Amino acid sequence: MKLIRLLLILVLVFTASSTYAATPSPQPGYTIKTTKLYWRAMQSSPVAKTLLTNTPVRYTTYNRSWSNVYIGSTRYFTPSSNLKAGIPKLTSTERLRLVNKQHGLSASYRSSQLVTLTIPTVYAKGSERTLMAAEAAHALARLYYDGRKQGHTLYALSAYRSYATQKSLYNYWVNARGTAYASMYVARPGHSEHQTGLAVDMTSEQMRMGLYASFDQTPEGKWMIQNAHRYGYIVRYPKGKEKITGYNYEPWHLRYVGVKEATTMKQNNWTFEDWWAKR
C-alpha cells in the first residue's frame, strides 16, 4: 500500500511539473486592430477591456483560436487574430521625422504607439513624461540593461511631453530668464522632439537626477554617449554643433532614429540636420 501511495505521489508531481514546464512565458506582442479583451475564451463573455491598435501587450497562446493577454497580474482572453508577436514598428517617416526650430508638429500630434517606460524614471509612472513610442522604449530598455551590466545605472528624466506641457515649460523659462535664454535650451511648443515620443533626457544619481553638461564626465554619461548608437540613439545636441542644431550642448538628450542611421551619424560626426541634408 505504501508503495502504491508513493507511486501515485510521483505521478502527480511529474504531471504537475510537466504542466508547469509546458506553460509558455508571456511574450511581447501588440494589437493589430482595436481589440476587445474578454473574461472567458468566448465572444459572448462580458468585455473586460478594449485596447487600441498598436497597444503593446504580453500574451501566450491559449488554444487554436484564442490567446491570453496579461495586464499586470490579470489574465484576459482575446482572439489570436487580434495580436501580432514582437514590438510595434515605426514607419521610417515617423522614426526619422525632423523636428527643430524650422520643422514643427501640430498641437494635436501624439504618437499612437506611446507606452510606459520599463526602466527607472525620475517622474512617477503614470506621468506623461514616462511615455515613449514602443520601438524607442524597447531600444532604451536594452541600452539601460546593457549599461547596468557594465556598472552604469541610468534614469529617464523626461521622455514624451505634449504640446500643452511644452507650452507651459517654454513660457516658464521665458518669464524666468527671457526669450533669448529660453530659445537656446527649451523648444517652442510644437517644435520639441519630446512631442514625437522618440526623445528622452537621461540622468544619474551622480547628477542628483538633474540635467547638467557635466553629465558627460560621469561614468554613466561617458558610457551612454559612446554606446547610444548601438541601440539606435543619437546625442541630439552635440558639443560644437550649436550653430547647426540651434541649441546649446545637451549630453543628456537622446533621440531615437534607428541603429543604421544612428551609426552613420556617429561615424561621420553628423547632427540629425547634417544627415537630413545628405539623405
Beta-strand runs (E) in the chain: 27-31, 35-38, 47-51, 56-61, 66-71, 74-79, 83-85, 114-116, 131-133, 155-158, 199-203, 233-237, 250-256
Give tens-digit pLDDT for 26-51: 988 989 999 999 999 999 999 999 99
What's the pLDDT at 19? 39
What's the pLDDT at 20? 41
pTM of this structure: 0.80
Give tens-digit pLDDT for 89-128: 999 999 999 999 999 999 999 998 898 898 999 999 999 9
Give tens-digit pLDDT for 159-180: 999 999 999 999 999 999 999 9
What's the pLDDT at 260? 98
What's the pLDDT at 88? 87
What's the pLDDT at 52? 84
Highest mean pLDDT among 21-25, 83-87, 226-230 belongs to 226-230
**What would the mean pLDDT of 245-264 be, rounded to a whole number?**
98
Q: Which residues contact 162 (CB under 8 A, 6 or more apart)?
A: 110, 128, 195
Q: What is the mean pLDDT of the chain?
A: 92
What's the pLDDT at 5? 60
Q: Is the pLDDT of residue 75 over 70?
A: yes
What's the pLDDT at 44? 94
Considering only the C-alpha atoms of the chain, give the largest distance between any 2 of them, rounded to a whole number of Å. 90
Chain-centroid distance of CA 104 in Å reads 21
User: How many residues does this entry show for the chain?
Assistant: 279
**What would the mean pLDDT of 179-200 be, rounded to a whole number?**
96
